[in-house]
């Protein structure tokens, strides 16, 4: 999956001008010790060097949420961090959350509520929902809107995402149209 010759890591190894720093980080349960270029963005480290392409880089400025992952249990942007800043941290991406096969409970709710269309922003939302569930956020809490404001979706108009997220947090079904197989 990794582009063989053009990882920043590889280029960095060859270039004395590219300063590097050691990094010790756990990604999806696996401990890594490596050397990375100082300026390598965490989003690029995860996507290009580790092949974890579920997260997407859609804005590069932390505004859209498509690059969201979980660091030390909290949802966080990966495009506004350098890889080297995650020294000692535990990182979880969607690949680390996925069940071995098929869809988990939250993913299933997203499918049933048609809470995704093009799917580009979807991995980011799922990481935020995971962190909301971890914090036991109540579906009627004002915090729900705060967490959801961390993601942009151009396709769905958010109505179905609200329904799926509230269900994931334990609300009863208040959606008028839901699908069946």
Partner 1 sequence: MKPARFRYVRAETADHAIELLDGADTNARILAGGQSLIPALSARSITASLLLDIMHCPGLNEVTQTPDEVTVGAACRQSRIELSPVVHQSIPLLSEALGWVAMPQVRSRGTVVGCLAQANAGGEVPVVSLALDAQLNLLLSGNARQRMPAGDVYAVQTGTRLPPRSLIVSASFRTLASGEGWGFSEVQLRQGHFALVCCAATLLLEESGRVRSARIAIGGLTANPYRAGRAEMSLIGEIADQDSLIRDAAQIASAERPWPARTDLHATGAFRAKAAVAAVARALRNARSRCSRQKRSDT
Partner 2 sequence: MTKKTTKAIALPRSRRYVGEAVLRAEDQELLRGRGGFLPDLAAPNAAEICIVRSTEPHAIVRAIRKERALANPGVIAILTANDLDLVEDVLPCVDMIPGTLDARHRVIARERVRYVGQAVALVVAANRYLAEDAAALVEIEYESLPPVTDHMAAKNPGAPLLYPELGTNIVYQVKQTDGDPDFAARDGDLVIRKRYEFHRQTAVPLETRGVTAKLIDNGERLHVESCTQLPQVLRAVLASAFGISLEKVRVTAPRLGGGFGCKEMVYPEEILVPAAARKLQRPVRWLEDRREHFASATHAREETVDAEAVVARDGAFIGLRLTGWSNIGAAFGFVGNTPITAMGAMVRGPYRVPNLDAVMSSVVTNKTPLNVLRGAGGPQAALVMERLLDEAARSLGMDRAEIRRRNLIQPNELPLDRGATGFANAHHIIYDEGDYPRCLEAGLNLAEYENCESDRKAAAARGRLRGLGISMYVEITAVGPYETARIALQPDGTILLFSSIMPVGQGSETTQRQLVAEELGIAMEQVAIRQGDTDEVPDAVGTFASRGAAAGGAAGRMVGRELVKKILSSFAEIPDCDPSKLRWEEGGVVILGPPREFIPLQEIPARLASLRGDLEPGTIEAKHRIEIPRPSYSYATHIAVIEIDPETGELKIPRYIVAHDCGKIVNPLLVEGQIVGGVVQGIGEVLREHVVYDTSGNLQTRALMDYVLPGASDAPADFKLWHMETPSSFNPFGIRGVGEGGSIGAHAAMANAVADALRDYDVAVDGSGPFTPTWIMEALSRPPRVSVSEKI
- What does the binding site for partner 1 look like in residue numbers (CB under 8 A)? 17-19, 21, 38-39, 41, 44, 60-62, 65, 68, 71, 74-77, 79-82, 84-85, 87-88, 128, 143, 145-147, 149-150
Q: What distance lies between CA 19 and its chain's CA centroid? A: 28
Give 25 or 52: the residue with its C-beta nearer to partner 2: 52
Please give the residues from 15 up to 34 whose contact with partner 2 meets the rule CB under 8 A. 15, 17-18
Give 29 or 88: the residue with its C-beta nearer to partner 2: 29
Q: Which residues pair with 76 in a beta bridge?
A: 69
3-state secondary structure of 92: strand
State the burial class of residue 53 (Cβ atoms within 10 Å of its Cβ: 0-12, 13-18, 19+).
middle
Q: Which of partner 2, partner 1, none lies near 34, with the C-beta cut-off 5 to 8 A by kind?
A: none
State the burial class of residue 150 (Cβ atoms within 10 Å of its Cβ: 0-12, 13-18, 19+).
middle
> Is 151 an interacting residue with respect to partner 2 (CB under 8 A)?
yes
| Cβ partners under 8 Å of residue 41, min gap 6 | 78, 79, 81, 82, 83
Alpha helices (H) in 94-158, listed in sequence order: 94-97, 105-112, 122-134, 142-148
Give 37 or 167: the residue with its C-beta nearer to partner 2: 37
Please give the residues from 80 up to 109 whose contact with partner 2 meets the rule CB under 8 A. 93-95, 98, 102-103, 107
DSSP 51-79: ---SS--SSSSSSS-TT-EEETTEEE-ST
Q: Which of partner 2, partner 1, none lies near 117, with the C-beta cut-off 5 to 8 A by kind?
A: partner 2
**Which residues are near partner 2 by CB under 8 A?**
1-8, 10-11, 15, 17-18, 37, 39-40, 47, 53-61, 63-64, 66, 93-95, 98, 102-103, 107, 110-112, 114, 116-123, 126, 145, 148-149, 151-162, 177-181
């Amino acid at each position: 999956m990794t582009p063989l010759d053009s990882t920043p890591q590889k280029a960095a190894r060859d270039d004395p001008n590219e300063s590097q720093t050691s990094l010790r980080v756990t990604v999806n349960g696996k401990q890594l010790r490596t050397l990375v270029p100082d300026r390598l963005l965490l989003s690029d480290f995860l996507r290009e060097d580790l092949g974890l392409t579920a997260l997407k880089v859609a804005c590069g400025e932390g505004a859209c949420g498509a690059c969201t992952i979980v660091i030390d249990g909290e949802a966080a942007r990966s495009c506004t961090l350098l890889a080297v800043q995650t020294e000692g941290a535990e990182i979880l991406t969607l690949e680390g959350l996925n069940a071995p096969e098929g869809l988990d409970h939250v993913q299933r709710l997203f499918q049933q509520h048609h809470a995704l269309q093009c799917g580009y922003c979807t991995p980011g939302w799922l990481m935020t929902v995971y962190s909301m569930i971890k914090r036991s956020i109540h579906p009627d809490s004002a915090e729900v809107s705060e967490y959801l404001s961390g993601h942009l979706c151009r396709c769905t108009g958010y109505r179905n995402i609200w329904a799926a997220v509230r269900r994931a947090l334990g609300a009863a079904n208040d959606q008028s149209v839901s699908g069946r197989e």
